[in-house]
Structure 1
Amino acid sequence: MDSPSLDFDVVSPGAIRDGRATDAYFAHTEETLRHADRNPHVVAEVTADQFPTGEFELLAGVKDAAALLEGHDVDVDAIPEGTLFDGGPVLRIEGDYLAFARLETSLLGFLSHASGCATAALECRRAAPDSTVLSFGARHVHPAATAMVERSALLGGFDGFSHVAAGELLGREASGTMPHALLICFGRGQQEAAWQAFDEATPESVPRIALCDTYSDEKDEAIRAVEALGDRLSGIRLDTTGSRRGDFRHIIREVKWELDARGLDDVDVFLSGGLGPASLRELRDVADGFGVGGYVSNADPVDFALDIVEVDGEPVSKRGKLSGAKSVYRTADGAHHVGLRDRDGPEDAESLLEPVLRDGELVAEFSIDDAAERALADADRTGFGDE
């Protein structure tokens, strides 16, 4: 008899679209409203802070939010992905409440998690603006969330990522060369054999970047990699665990000295392993690129909430929230301004909320590259990540 097979603990896209990926009290609310024959026309807003705080975060996840709400009889406006925000609504829904009530849980999850990862990515990008920065954090999250992490990293300005399936979904090729496991499979003292086998087996399109800290001193393995691969070597990577690093900056400078002494100052040095904005800022002048993992993938989600602010044309709110449909503006100095939708905004200010859905039909376009450009421009404008 065949043994029963296990399945993954993954909520299906169908369950998300159907509204079954929801908190139970939304199902009870829907039942109660239908029982009472009540379905008011509402305006609901997604916010993290009611008033501008000066502490900016980067908006991501709007594409998935739009996919969730598409086909439901609602109008949706949102701040474009890749926009820095610090208060007021980032997304507004208008329609009969039962058209979207069950979708709130998934909607907030799409926006909250992606925005947290994108914000962390932009912090890293700003810390090393001239370096190659790749996302290596897929191993820290549930596999079902990897495409979200990698897309958020790109949106925050990263140059690439490591996850193959995420790349297939996003239409981007994953980056990466070799792990310590490859060197260990060849055995101690056989690093040259591992590097040479990689060179022989791997397509020419993959750069020859040798991992140089598996068994011995980083400088020693870097020199050996140079001798093993010669001018086919395009770079080395140091992934030394923090407990063994000592003065990591000094180690990197030693390695680069030895490369230069052999006429190989064009061999790039890449770093990975427990890196964040502080370490990127410290090492950006001695390294050519970085792989950042947990700092992005493990970022805290942005604490978004969805609140009804208007019912049948009348402003309402629960305690602690601001009633009435609102608009959000960016002023020339980079600051935000929140005001009621039916009032004039500040003079010469840019209105940030833009149409996403009309009567459930998609009217917006989504581009990772455009969002990433917007994020970097916004960071310059607001001083985000400046030290």
Structure 2
Amino acid sequence: MSQPFGTVSADAILEGAATDAYFERTRATLEHAGKNPPVVAEVTADQFPTGSFDVFTGVEDVATLFEGRDVDVDALPDGQLFDGGPVLRVEGSYLEFAELETSLLGFLSQPSGFATAALEARLAAPDSLVLSFGARHVHPSITASVERAALLAGLDGFSHVAAGEVLGREPGGTMPHALMFCFGEGNQAAAWTAFDEAVPEDVPRIALVDTFWDEKSESLLAAETLGEDLDGVRIDTTGSRRGDFRHIVREVRWELDTRGREDVDIFCSGGLEPETIRNLRDVADGFGVGSHITGADSVDFSLDIVEISEGSSDPSNSRTQSGDDGEPISKRGKLSGEKQVYRTPDGGHRIALADAEPPDGGEPLLEPLIRDGEIVQEFDLEEASERCLADAETVGFGDRAGPASDATDG
């Protein structure tokens, strides 16, 4: 039975039906040939460090995907930053997880891209209020994934109501231009007054001030209309009419301050990029970021077998029959052999064979996620966010000259 809105069902994902067709044909071929070798497979984006870090997330969904499968899985912790090498490792008989590869990569690739972009926005204004406003740019079925990635990267909140129900968080937001249009030009004061009278007291009184007149005029009118109840103004000026956006914000700030309204915050939104945020963070108090997060490139993860054993020729062959006799193997351009990745004291990201001596002072990052089909990790969004922000500082995320990360040890 088809799903509404053209979505794929959770059952299809868990059963392995949400897969590429060639995995089904691979299963048919291997079963026909009586082959099901024990393997070690690793998920990577870059084989070697590049000096450019990304945020790893989506691991909780991966744990759900593999639960009950006869495999062992190790992964980076949720929110960890990485620069090359494996982020996740699967050990088991190949046919135990072959069809899950497509969903596995999807669970990791897009959320990690969202989180990385959100971290860029967060660090562009570390002392400001930064909210996620991008839910309208993605399919509604994945909005909770977007907003979770934003929270993991340290953003202060988001706007999507249903995502809030999934995540157990209260969404934020005040008024759109449509509200102002419904009252009409010249009636801005009536719109703001009606909003003030209608919404709960705990909703900030943030007036949208760029609809009909210039931002300064509407900001001063909002301050006059709502008086001490006005918490802030939002400037969402269309890019084609901004000119010098920083000057607009400074002018509004000056005119409000001149009238004794230093208490009124200025919130900016509308296609903001990290560079724009950095340019405004000393004159604005908060930012809404949308398309920079939702338009982020997915992290280009792939899953590759890096070790294979002769094992049993029985397609029902168990993971536990593989023993320690695996042979390194890889396609051209990929690195064979089971690996570990390390965070070094200087913030570097190092890759080494799993049985090699770790780098001096290196902290191993891959840790157990699934053992014998059981989830052995707990997931906490607050902890993941703290990890993300702390690791970003350690590795110098966003710095033009961060710590060296160009070593692979064998």
Which residue matches 1:327?
Answer: 340
Which residue matches 1:293?
Answer: 290
CA distances 1:195-222 after superposition (whole Å, capped 9, x unpaired): 1111111011111101000000000000
Pairwise CA distance, 1:6: 9.6
3-state DSSP of counterpart to 1:299: coil
Which residue matches 1:93?
Answer: 90
User: Is 1:45 the equivalent of 2:18?
Assistant: no
User: Is 1:358 the equivalent of 2:355?
Assistant: no
The list of structure 1 runs, each at least 4 consecutive aligned residues, that deviate by more than 3 angstroms after superposition, is none
Greater Cα shift, 294-303 or 59-68: 59-68
Which residue matches 2:177?
Answer: 180
3-state DSSP of counterpart to 1:300: coil
Q: Which runs of 5+ in 2 are unaligned?
A: 310-325, 401-410
Which residue matches 1:213?
Answer: 210
Code of the aligned partner of 1:234: D
CA distance in 2: counterparts of 1:229 and 1:202, whole angstroms: 14
TM-score for both structures, normalised by structure 2: 0.92
CA distance in 2: counterparts of 1:291 and 1:9, whole angstroms: 30
Code of the aligned partner of 1:74: V
CA distance in 2: counterparts of 1:366 and 1:122, whole angstroms: 20
CA distance in 1: counterparts of 2:165 and 2:329, whole angstroms: 45
CA distances 1:206-255 after superposition (whole Å, capped 9, x unpaired): 11101000000000000111111111111110000001111111111111
CA distance in 2: counterparts of 1:245 and 1:90, whole angstroms: 42
Give the RMSD, CA atoms, in angstroms. Answer: 1.2
Percent of aligned pairs with the same residue? 68
Code of the aligned partner of 2:230: L
CA distance in 2: counterparts of 1:71 and 1:287, whole angstroms: 50
* Native 8 Å contact 1:126 1:386 kept in 2: no
1:229 to 223, 226, 237: 226
User: Is 1:249 the equivalent of 2:277?
Assistant: no
Pairwise CA distance, 1:7: 3.2
Which residue matches 1:199?
Answer: 196
User: Is 1:369 the equivalent of 2:379?
Assistant: no
Which residue matches 1:317?
Answer: 330
CA distance in 1: counterparts of 2:270 and 2:285, whole angstroms: 15
Q: Which runs of 5+ in 1 are unaligned?
A: none
Code of the aligned partner of 2:306: V
3-state DSSP of counterpart to 1:8: helix
CA distance in 1: counterparts of 2:399 and 2:173, whole angstroms: 30
Pairing of 1:45-124 with structure 2 (within 5 A): 45-124=42-121
3-state DSSP of counterpart to 2:4: coil
3-state DSSP of counterpart to 1:15: helix
2:158 to 157, 161, 166: 161
Code of the aligned partner of 2:5: F
User: Is 1:385 the equivalent of 2:385?
Assistant: no
3-state DSSP of counterpart to 1:38: coil
3-state DSSP of counterpart to 2:126: coil
Which residue matches 1:34?
Answer: 31
CA distance in 1: counterparts of 2:158 and 2:293, whole angstroms: 11
CA distance in 2: counterparts of 1:386 and 1:195, whole angstroms: 42
Code of the aligned partner of 1:323: S
Pairing of 1:263-302 with structure 2 (within 5 A): 263-302=260-299
